Amino acid sequence: METEPQGYLRTDGRKGIRNYLVVVYLVECARHVAEKIVRSYPESVVQLIGFSGCFPNDYSNRMLRRLCTHPNVGGALLVSLGCEGFDRNSLQKAIADSGRPVKTLGIQTTGGTRKTVEAGQYWVGETLEILQEVPRCPLSVDELVVGTICGGSDATSGITANPAIGHCFDILAKKSARVIFEETGELIGCENFMAERAVTTELGDEIRKTVEKAARYYTTLGHGSFAPGNADGGLTTLEEKSMGAYAKSGNSPISGLLKPGDIPEKGGLYLLDVIPDGEVRFGFPNINDNAEIAELIACGSHIILFATGRGSVVGSVISPVIKVCANPETYRQMEEDMDIDAGKILEGRATLDEVGEEIVRKIIQSASGKPTTSEALGHQEFVLTYKTFEPLGPACFPA
């Protein structure tokens, strides 16, 4: 077993595996200024996130509160134009209340692009020195939160990478880590299997309802979660894709149902509902994989496991992404972008259990500070869109 990781202890008691400072644009009009501030620091320790919309949205506000107070984040600079609808005051207060350094710069009141960039650079430089003083402490497996997603799936995904991640999740859940799977729009047809694994009947009923909601949403859109690339990769039906996505959940009991920004408080396996509530208002529920990754991170995920068969290169801000490649041919073609070769299961070079255990070791290495391939390549993708969610009921968090 690897040496126990050393985490960054936050004043709110949570522990991170990275110590990033985020620069946050609160409307698209402020993005250029925020980007120029970040580009002044070539190391990945300063990262860019934000929300491009001008109209206020409770979901985006909640998401940025969770992301800016994530345990992997040590402080935040908010960049506002000044007339957008985002509630910058409540965001700043939430960050300050968590004990993190925070500052808001308004471009209109600071004097425009150049003066705001200079003010931001000055504050970031001072704050990075403060972050160097964040105390380190042991971080055990039962304190980790790990999320999983699949993207660029093909016919090998459901028989190699996805079930290997499921085995990894079973190992972590037994050690009382919190593990999260999602993509309810890609679990249509699997709702009864998941409901049977729920720790209470009431939770099982909520799981059925959330998958039924996803089916209604996609029916309204006239679009399922099945891309042309999936078909080109040999997947034949939505049912086949759903079974592959389901395999990532492993075999552990399902302890609860989450929505973006809900943080599980105890160890176990959780399902994340990413489909908006209410009538269809904002278009596709997740326009790309990074929108889902951001939601997993907002639920507290220290690390993201990303299964891919066709081959995806994306990483993320805030939390490291571990790429688990399902297809051995894809791995040989894109080895520099992959962390785990799950395709060796298909070729008889390893068992599913062995690859699952390899993923666990990779998680511990990443939590100990070793960069993943996407981190080493400088990937810092981020997407945040409009959505609407209603609060969860008590049945979703069984006592």
- Tell me, what amino acid is at 58? D
Show which of 86, 105, 133 is a domain's final residue: 133
Mean pLDDT of the region 337-365: 97
Percent of the residues in the chain that have a pLDDT greater than 70, as a whole number:
93
123 shares a domain with 176: no
- 311 and 250 in a common domain: yes
Residue pair 275/217 in contact (Cβ under 8 Å)? The answer is: yes
Please, which residues have CB within 8 angstroms of residue 275's CB and are 6 or more apart in sequence? 184, 185, 210, 213, 214, 217, 285
How many structural domains compose the chain?
2
Would residue 160 count as lying in a domain? yes
- What mean pLDDT comes out for the span 308-334? 95
My answer on whether 45 and 146 are in the same domain is no
User: Are 391 and 331 found together in one domain?
Assistant: yes
**Domain annotation covers residue 230:** yes
Convert the pLDDT of each residue in 238-274 to its tens digit.
665 667 688 999 999 999 999 999 999 999 999 999 9
Angle between helices 238-247 and 161-174 (to 10 degrees): 30
Final residue in a domain of this structure, among 79, 111, 133? 133
15 assigned to some structural domain: no
Single out the residue in 79, 102, 133 at which a domain terminates.
Answer: 133
pTM (2 decimals)? 0.95
Query: Is residue 166 situated within a structural domain?
Result: yes
DSSP code string of 341-388: EGGGGTTTSS-HHHHHHHHHHHHHHHHTTPPPHHHHTT----------
Residue 265 in any domain: the answer is yes
Distance CA 297, CA 145 (A): 9
Same domain, 172 and 121: no
Q: Are residues 163 and 258 in the same domain?
A: yes
Q: Which helix (H) or strand (E) holds 8?
A: strand 6-9
CB 153 within 8 A of CB 163: no
pLDDT-above-90 percentage for the chain: 80
Q: Are residues 195 and 318 in the same domain?
A: yes
Residues 155 and 128 grouped into a single domain: no
pLDDT for the residue numbered 365: 97
- Average pLDDT of span 367-386: 96
User: Phi/psi of residue 27, each to 5°?
Assistant: -170, 155
Q: Please tell me the predicted confidence (pLDDT) of residue 1.
A: 43
Q: Are residues 222 and 338 in the same domain?
A: yes
> Alpha-carbon distance 134 to 8, whole Å?
6
Domain housing 285: 141-396
The predicted-structure confidence for 72-123, as pLDDT tens digits, reads as follows 999 999 999 999 999 999 999 999 999 999 999 999 999 999 999 999 999 9
The burial class, CB within 10 Å (0-12 / 13-18 / 19+), for 248 is buried
> In this structure, is residue 48 part of a structural domain?
yes
Asked if residue 170 and residue 85 are part of one domain, the reply reads no
Same domain, 232 and 282: yes
304 and 366 assigned to the same domain: yes
In a domain, 8, yes or no: no
Q: What is the CATH number of the domain that holds 90?
A: 3.40.50.2300
The answer to whether position 2 is within a domain reads: no
Element (H, E) at 115: helix 113-131
